[in-house]
Each structure stands twice: as structure tokens, then as C-alpha cells.
């Protein structure tokens, strides 16, 4: 019998997910959050897992090579930019993602960041606590009648669009990989270029994966295409935004504010320049970290591993590296 261990790159997963793994004969091992690569490789070699659930930090080729029994890598969520997918494919190891499992939670967080940013909740709260009564001369903004542009139109973006409609926000989206029918069913206008979407939106909300093509999507040029006084929301990946460019655009007033849940480097430095800019609302990459989402994502992550090692079809989970998929289904 091969390895009966599943390794989690993080301190825990949902208790129901753990019980599911144990009921199928697997024991769990855990790696401290954001462990160094050398320590991660050592831990992987010690455990020699049959499956790895990637939560926090990068899981690269040295870690993949350290586990000869490894048959599947399962992402605790959907973003695989912290997994060396190419290295996994070369070893014919499927990489599985939990599609849509955290969509309600992340979409709600995107709307929370939008409300906090546009309604200027944090600076107004801080001013009031500092003894200021800023009602005289104050002028806020209504969400109703604004246009939100969604970059990417997967499960999270579609859920965000549904919530935004309740505020009277007009929706448009850009996603070159989605079918036209998805836009029609959601009642969302389709833009054929990301440039057209940026130029037409009062709010740009990012929901696409981080790839070489999307890295620094919102740089000086991308931000410059946006309307003066518009807003940026990012609950996807930090690398989609050139953080220095965003800071310049906010400082100049071209971008009125931003709600940011993800960063180029995580965790960000203690002296990150965003901390001194009150128009940028920040949270520590917790959009999908709710009790409900953790249960769904954790169970899906385990189910993905079990489906691959037991030779079953996947359910809501999907394999993202197609070479490995061909091998797994052969």
C-alpha cells in the first residue's frame, strides 16, 4: 500500500473535511503558514503524502519532487498561481481546484469592500472618533446608477454581479473564455476587450486568475484608461495590480478609492505604503475565509484528492492541468 497521508500547507482545514479523509483511511499532516521552501521540502519528504492541499504559501517544484508518492495536488480554493502547475504536469500529477465553493463568501466581501470604499466608512469613522463632525460640506456618492465592470466572469464574479444588481448598479464583464450564454443568463453586458471595460466602468472589480497575461493588469496604463474618480476592488490576486501605480493614481485623485483583499507579496511588509492611504481599504486575504466557505472548500479539496486516487469522476471540483487529466483518465 502507498502513502496514506494528506498534507495541508496551512494550520488546519474544516473538521468535516478531516473526518471525510479519515473515513477513507487517510491521516492528515499540517505545515505552518508561509513556511520557508527549505522547511516545506523537509516536511514534505518526511510525510511523503499521496495528496497535498495547498492553502498558504507556494508549493513549487522542489516540494513536488520531495514526495515520490504524490498523486494529486488539490487547491483549497481556485487560484493556482502559488502552485507550480507546470512541474506537476511534467510529473503527470493532476492539480484540482474547488470551483465555486467559496463564491458566496468572496462575492459578499467584494461588495463589503465596495461599500466601505465608496461610502468612505473608515475615514469617516476615524474622523468621528478623533472628535471631528464632518457633516458640514460632506458630499457622498450613490451606488445606484454606477457601472461596475467585472474582469473575469466565473462563479465569484457572477455572484458579485447578482449582489450588485440589488443596489441598482449596471453590470458589464470581460472574460474571453466564457460563453455568450453565461452573460445573457446573468443579464450582464459583455465587453470584448479589457480596455473597453476599464474605460466604461465607474467600479472595476477583479475576478480573474493571475497569469503572465494578467499580471499588473492595472498598471499606470490600465488605471489611466479608467474614468476619473472611479474605484478598484480586488478580491482575486494581488499581482493583478501594480501597487505603486495604484498608489499614484489614488494620490492624484484619478482613482477615488480602492478595496484590496490581496497583495503582491503576502503577508505584505509592515511598512507597506497602502497603510498610510485612507482611501485604500485593506483586508488580509480573507474574502473566502468564512465558516461556511471553509467547510465547502475543505470538503471539495478532500473530495478532489479522493476522486483522483480512487479513479472516480470529479464533481464540482475540476482538474486544471490538462496533460495530467489525460493521464489520470487513461
Instruction: State yes or no: is 58 an active-site residue.
Output: no
List the CATH code of the domain at 5-101+291-329: 3.40.50.720
Instruction: State yes or no: is 272 an active-site residue.
Output: no
pLDDT of residue 2: 65
What ranges do the domains of the chain cover? Answer: 5-101+291-329, 141-282
The CATH homologous superfamily for domain 141-282 is: NAD(P)-binding Rossmann-like Domain (3.40.50.720)
Instruction: State yes or no: is 291 an active-site residue.
Output: no
pLDDT of residue 330: 39
Q: What is the pLDDT along the chain (330 residues), one digit of tens a residue?
A: 467 999 999 999 999 999 999 999 999 999 998 899 999 999 999 999 999 999 999 999 999 999 999 999 999 988 898 999 999 999 999 999 988 889 999 999 999 999 999 999 999 999 999 999 999 999 999 999 999 999 999 999 999 999 999 999 999 999 999 999 999 999 999 999 999 999 999 999 999 999 999 999 999 999 999 999 999 999 999 999 999 999 999 999 999 999 999 999 999 999 999 999 999 999 999 999 899 999 999 999 999 999 999 999 888 778 888 654 444 443
Q: Which of 55, 76, 237, 296 is catalytic?
A: 237
CATH fold match for the domains 5-101+291-329 and 141-282: yes
Q: SS3 for the chain, per residue?
A: CCCCEEEEECCCCCHHHHHHHHHCCCEEEECCCCCCHHHHHHHHHHHCCCEEEECCCCECHHHHHCCCCCCEEEECCCCCCCECHHHHHHCCCCEEECCCCCHHHHHHHHHHHHHHHHCCHHHHHHHHHCCCCCCCCCCCCCCCCCEEEEECCCHHHHHHHHHHHCCCCEEEEECCCCCHHHHHHHCCEECCCHHHHHHHCCEEEECCCCCCCCCCCECHHHHHHCCCCEEEEECCCHHHECHHHHHHHHHHCCEEEEEECCCCCCCCCCCCHHHHCCCEEECCCCCCCCHHHHHHHHHHHHHHHHHHHCCCCCCCCEECCHHHHHHHCC
Q: Which of 61, 92, 266, 277 is catalytic?
A: 266
Amino acid at each position: 500500500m502507498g502513502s496514506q497521508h494528506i498534507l495541508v500547507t496551512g494550520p488546519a482545514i474544516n473538521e468535516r473535511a478531516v473526518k471525510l479523509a479519515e473515513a477513507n483511511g487517510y491521516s492528515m499532516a499540517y505545515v505552518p503558514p508561509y513556511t520557508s521552501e527549505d522547511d516545506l521540502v523537509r516536511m514534505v519528504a518526511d510525510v511523503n503524502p499521496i495528496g497535498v492541499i495547498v492553502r498558504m504559501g507556494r508549493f513549487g517544484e522542489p516540494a513536488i519532487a520531495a514526495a515520490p508518492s504524490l498523486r494529486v495536488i488539490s487547491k483549497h480554493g481556485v487560484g493556482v498561481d502559488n502552485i507550480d502547475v507546470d512541474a506537476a504536469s511534467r510529473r503527470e500529477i493532476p492539480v484540482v481546484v474547488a470551483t465555486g465553493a467559496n463564491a458566496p463568501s468572496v462575492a459578499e466581501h467584494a461588495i463589503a469592500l465596495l461599500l466601505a470604499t465608496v461610502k468612505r466608512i473608515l475615514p469617516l469613522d476615524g474622523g468621528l472618533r478623533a472628535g471631528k463632525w464632518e457633516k458640514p460640506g460632506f458630499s457622498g456618492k450613490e451606488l445606484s446608477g454606477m457601472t461596475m465592470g467585472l474582469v473575469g466572469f466565473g462563479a465569484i464574479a457572477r455572484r458579485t454581479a447578482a449582489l450588485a444588481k440589488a443596489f441598482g448598479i449596471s453590470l458589464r464583464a470581460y472574460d474571453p473564455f466564457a460563453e455568450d450564454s453565461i452573460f445573457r443568463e446573468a443579464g450582464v453586458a459583455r465587453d470584448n476587450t479589457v480596455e473597453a471595460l476599464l474605460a466604461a466602468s465607474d467600479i472595476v472589480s477583479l475576478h480573474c486568475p493571475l497569469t503572465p497575461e494578467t499580471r499588473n493588469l492595472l498598471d499606470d496604463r490600465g488605471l489611466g484608461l479608467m474614468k476619473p474618480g472611479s474605484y478598484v476592488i480586488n478580491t482575486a490576486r494581488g499581482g493583478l495590480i501594480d501597487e505603486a501605480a495604484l498608489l499614484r493614481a489614488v494620490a492624484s485623485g484619478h482613482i477615488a478609492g480602492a478595496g484590496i483583499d490581496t497583495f503582491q507579496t503576502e503577508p505584505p511588509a509592515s511598512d507597506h505604503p497602502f497603510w498610510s492611504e485612507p482611501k485604500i481599504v485593506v483586508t488580509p486575504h480573507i474574502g473566502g475565509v468564512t465558516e461556511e466557505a471553509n467547510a465547502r472548500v475543505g470538503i471539495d479539496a478532500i473530495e478532489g484528492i479522493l476522486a483522483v486516487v480512487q479513479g472516480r469522476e470529479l464533481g464540482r471540483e475540476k482538474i486544471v492541468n490538462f496533460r495530467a487529466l489525460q493521464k489520470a483518465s487513461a
